[in-house]
Chain A
Amino acid sequence: MTAILEARGLRKSFDRTEALRGVDVSIRRGEIVAIMGPSGSGKSTLLHCLAGVTVPDAGTVAFNGTPISTLDETARGKLRLTDFGFVFQFGQLLPELTALDNVAVPLLLAGERRGTAATRASEWLGRLGLDGKAQRRPQELSGGEAQRVAIARALVTKPAVLFADEPTGSLDSLAAEAVMRIMIDLVREAGTTVVVVTHDPRTAAYADRDIIVRDGHVSVALGEAA
C-alpha cells in the first residue's frame, strides 16, 4: 500500500510555543486515522499541516508523492478544494444559506453549473439521511443534522482525503455515534482516506488506528506498533 499522505520532520511554532517538534506521519490510501492527544498537544496543527492549511516551519508533507508544503497559497487552496474535504466542530455552515445551498457551495466553487450542483447536493443530503431538510437553514437543524450537512458538503466533491477536526466535539454521545457511523459507512464505501482529530476515544475507535500527539511529538512506539 502506498502512502497518500507522508509527513517528514514537521516542525511548527507559533510565537514562542512549539506546536510540532519533528513529527513523522504516514497515512495509507483508504485508511481511517485518528489523531489523539491532550488539548494543546498540537494535534490540530498537525492536521492543518497535513491538509496544506498551514505551512510547517521545517519538514515536508507529500500528497500522493507530491510535496504540498512548497506550493503557494493559491495552489494549496485549489488542492484543498478539489482533493480534500473538511468537517469542523461547529459553525461551519453559512447561516443564511439553506442546507442544500450550503452543500452546493463547493461544487459552485469548482465551476459546476447551478442546476447540476443542486441535483448532486440533494443526492448527498439523501445519503446522509437528510431528505426533507434541504430547504432548512442551519439554525433550524439539530446539532447532529448540521454536522451531517457539513459531512455532505465535505464529501460532495468526492475528495481523496477527508479531514475532520473534532467532528463530534459539540454533540451528545448518541448524536455523535450516529454522525460517526454514517460518515464511516460512506467513506468506507467510497474508499476515502480520513484523518480525524479527536480527544474522544469513542470517536477514535471508529478509526483503523490512532496517532498520539503529545508535546509536539508523535508517540514513536505507537506509530510502529500499528
Chain B
Amino acid sequence: MDSALTLLGLVSLRPSYGYDLKQLYDRLFGLRKPLAFGQVYATIARMIRDGLLAPLGEEAGDGPDRKRYAVTPDGERRLAEWMFTPDVPSETLQNNIFAKTVVALLTGRDAHSLLDIQRACHMEQMRSLTRLKQGAGLMHVLLYDHALFHIEADLRWIDMTAARLTQLRDEVLA
C-alpha cells in the first residue's frame, strides 16, 4: 500500500500534528507493522516539497512534532486521483484497496464507487483472460486459470467489503 498517500488522506480529514497522524495510522493500518516516527516525518517532508501538504499557522521554527499540517488543493487532487484510479490486480493489491476504502470512509468520500471502479477493472481483466483462454492449449489455460482464481479472490473480497461498508464506517469513525 502507498503509505504516503494514505497519510495524505488522513491529513485531509483535519489538519493534524505528526504525532496524531502516526497514532491514527497505526490504529487503522498498523496492525502488522506500525510506522516509525522518522518515516512519518520523512514522508511529510517529501509531500511538503511536492506541494501536497503545507504546515499550518505561525508556529514555524518549532520541531516537526510541534507543527500541524493541512492538505493543499494540489494534495486534494492527488488524493482523489489516487483513490478513484483502480489498481491493476496483483497479489499485493489488497492492502492498497483497503487503505483507499478506509480513507474514503474517513473523509466522507464515496467508498462504494471506489469499490465499483475497482471491481470493473478486475472484471475487465477476467474477461480478457477468459477470452485468451478460449481456444488456448491446456498449459496456457492452467496459467490463465491461476490468474483468474487470484482475481476472483480479490473480487470476492471487494464484494464482501462492499456489503459491509456501513459497518466498516462505524468502526473506522469510532
Contact = CB atoms under 8 A, between A and B. Distances in A.
Interface of A: 38, 181, 184, 201-202, 204-208, 210, 212, 214, 219, 221-222, 225-226
B95 interface: no
B53 interface: no
B116 A221 contact: yes
B134 interface: yes
A186 to B, nearest CB: 13
A198 B77 CA distance: 37
A201 B116 contact: no
Contacts of B120: 221-222, 225-226
Contacts of A225: 117, 120
B54 interface: no
Given A201-B126, A202-B126, A221 B152 contact: no
Contacts of A214: 162
Q: Which of A201, A204, A206, A207 has the most CB of B within 10 A?
A: A201
B168 to A, nearest CB: 16
Main secondary structure, interface of B, reads helix
A212 B119 contact: yes
B45 to A, nearest CB: 36
A29 B32 CA distance: 51
A215 to B, nearest CB: 10
B145 to A, nearest CB: 9
B163 A205 contact: no
A205 B116 contact: no
A206 B130 contact: yes
29 contacts: A38-B163, A201-B123, A201-B126, A201-B151, A201-B152, A201-B156, A202-B126, A202-B130, A202-B148, A202-B152, A204-B123, A205-B123, A205-B126, A205-B127, A205-B129, A205-B130, A205-B148, A206-B127, A206-B130, A210-B123, A212-B116, A212-B119, A214-B162, A219-B113, A221-B116, A221-B117, A222-B120, A225-B117, A226-B120
B159 interface: yes
